[in-house]
Amino acid sequence: MPKKLLLFPVLSLVLALSACSTLPSPFASSSAPSSATVAPYREQVELTGRLNVVYQKDDKPESATVNFNWQQTAQRTDVTLYSPVGSTLATIAVTPQQAVLTQSGKAPRSAPDVDTLSAQMLGWSLPVSGLRDWLQGYAVGADGKRFVASPANDSVTTKDGWRLRYVSWQEVGQNAADNTPGALPQPRRIDAERNASAQADAVSLRIVLDPAPSAPAP
């Protein structure tokens, strides 16, 4: 059985993310939340941020926090997981054919399904196929329809049973620097939760994305 990825104490994880839970949203106000939807979907994107995961191990809750770098193209997703001090813990490469996970100092392991592979190697599932959509504010709902998030429409249950909530937002677009009209909302914090089932264990994720760079003026 492969050795699990080193995890971090629950207390430090909660403290590390507690400030993020109250991040101010440029699209929040005393009036109704903005109905502006997220920017058009991009096949090619690079994002960084922090991920807190809570999962069950031997019927007891466990927790871990990692920093991540996310790069995707139309046919490939590459994820690098880092410890809070910056050392590389694991890399994950996903293509339509297979997923390959490499932990520091260990031989790569591959499988057709990244959820199963990450659960075996890390102790918790990383839903890469879903995250390709979620990180940009999109999802496929339980009704099979395309969900497009906005500050006024910030939660959905996905087709595969994940409950998503877009907790806070940042602005992107030509005028993002000063939040003038034309800026678009982009997810800042995303909470995702899945109940235990016959096919998968219960797991919850809190994702905090680093600030998006402002687009240069024309």
Domain ranges of the chain: 10-15+45-209
Average pLDDT estimate for 28-35: 61
> pLDDT value at position 168?
96
- Comparing 26-35, 122-131, 133-142, the range with the smallest average pLDDT is 26-35
Q: What is the pLDDT of residues 135-188, one digit of tens each?
A: 999 999 999 999 999 999 999 999 999 999 999 999 876 444 444 445 789 999
pLDDT for 207: 98
- Counting other chains too, the contacts that 113-121 makes at CB distance below 8 Å and 24 or more residues apart are 115/200, 118/92, 119/200, 119/201, 120/2, 121/2, 121/4, 121/5, 121/90
- Structure tokens given for 38: 């997220």
Residue 13's pLDDT is 40
Query: Using 50, 70 and 90 to split pLDDT, how confident is the model at 213?
Result: low
Q: Which residue has the tokens 């466990």?
A: 62
Q: Which two tokens stand for residue 131?
A: 């995250």
pLDDT at 92 over 60: yes
Q: What does the DSSP assignment read for 26-53?
A: TT--SSPPP-PPPPPP-SSEEEEEEEEE
Neighbours of 48 (CB within 10 A): 14
Instruction: Please classify residue 217 by burial: count the beta carbons closer than 10 Å to its beta carbon, then call 0-12 exposed, 13-18 middle and 19+ buried.
Output: exposed
H-type alpha helices, the chain: 10-18, 114-122, 128-134
> Tell me: the pLDDT tens digits for 42-78?
999 999 999 999 998 777 889 999 999 999 999 999 9
CATH 2.40.128 assigned to domain 10-15+45-209? The reply is no
In the predicted model, is pLDDT for residue 88 greater than 90?
yes
